[in-house]
Amino acid sequence: MGAPRLTMIRRHPIKSIGGEGLDAVRLQPARRMPGDREWAVLTEAGERLALASETDGQPDRWLPKSAFLRGVVSADLQAVRGGWRDGRLHLEHPRAGSIVLDPETEGPRLIEWLRPLWSGPAPTRLVRGAAIWTDQKWPWISILSLDSLRDLEARTGMSLGHGRWRGNLWIEGLDPFAERDWIGRTIRMGEVELRVTEQVGRCEATSADTATGRRDIDMLDALRQHYGHTDFGVFAEVVTGGTIRLQDQVTA
Q: Write down the pLDDT at residue 222.
A: 98
Q: Write down the pLDDT at residue 201.
A: 98
**How distant, in Å, are the alpha carbons of 85, 139, 190 from that of 27?**
21, 11, 11
> Residues of the chain with pLDDT > 70: what percent?
100
Which string of DSSP letters, residue by residue, matches 64-120?
Answer: -GGGB--TTT-GGGGG-EEEEETTEEEEEETTTEEEEE-TTT-HHHHHHHHGGG--S
Residue 225 DSSP class: H
Q: Write down the pLDDT at residue 57.
A: 79
Residue 205 DSSP class: G
247 and 141 housed in the same domain: yes
In angstroms, the CA 10 to CA 33 distance is 9
Backbone φ and ψ of 71, nearest 5°: -65, -25
Domain that holds residue 46: 40-127
Q: Write down the pLDDT at residue 199.
A: 98
Q: Write down the pLDDT at residue 1.
A: 61
Q: Which of 4-18, 60-74, 98-112 has the lowest mean pLDDT?
A: 60-74
203 and 220 housed in the same domain: yes
Read off the pLDDT band of 2 (50, 70, 90).
Answer: confident
Give the list of residues 6+ apart from residue 212 with CB closer than 8 angstroms, or none: 79, 94
Read off the pLDDT band of 131 (50, 70, 90).
Answer: confident
| CATH number of the domain bearing residue 185 | 2.40.33.20
159 and 228 housed in the same domain: yes
136-188 pLDDT, tens digit per residue, is 899 999 999 999 999 999 999 999 999 999 999 999 999 999 999 999 999 99
61-97 pLDDT, tens digit per residue, is 899 999 999 999 999 999 999 999 999 999 999 999 9
- Across the range 39-54, mean pLDDT stands at 90
Q: Write down the pLDDT at residue 95.
A: 96
142 and 246 housed in the same domain: yes
Strand partners, 93: 97
Is-contact 235 136, C-beta < 8 A?
yes
Q: Write down the pLDDT at residue 61.
A: 86
Is-contact 27 242, C-beta < 8 A?
yes
Strand partners, 215: 208
115 and 178 housed in the same domain: no
| 130 has a pLDDT exceeding 80 | no
Is-contact 94 212, C-beta < 8 A?
yes
Is-contact 228 220, C-beta < 8 A?
no
Residue 24 placed within a domain = yes
Is-contact 15 37, C-beta < 8 A?
yes
26 and 105 housed in the same domain: no
Is-contact 7 59, C-beta < 8 A?
no
Q: Write down the pLDDT at residue 56.
A: 78
Q: At which of 127, 158, 193 does a domain end?
A: 127
Q: Buried b vs exposed e over 89-119: b needs ≥16 C-beta within 10 Å? A: bbbebeebeebebebeeebeebbebbeebbe
Residue 132 placed within a domain = no
16 and 84 housed in the same domain: no
182-214 pLDDT, tens digit per residue, is 999 999 999 999 999 999 999 999 999 999 999
| 44 has a pLDDT exceeding 90 | yes
Q: Terminus-to-terminus CA distance in the chain, angstroms? A: 15
141 and 27 housed in the same domain: yes
| 36 has a pLDDT exceeding 90 | yes
51 and 110 housed in the same domain: yes
| 229 has a pLDDT exceeding 80 | yes
Which string of DSSP letters, residue by residue, matches 137-187?
Answer: SS--EEEEEHHHHHHHHHHHTS---SGGG--SEEEESS-TTGGGGGTT-EE
Domain count, the chain: 2
80 and 112 housed in the same domain: yes
Average confidence score pLDDT of the chain: 95
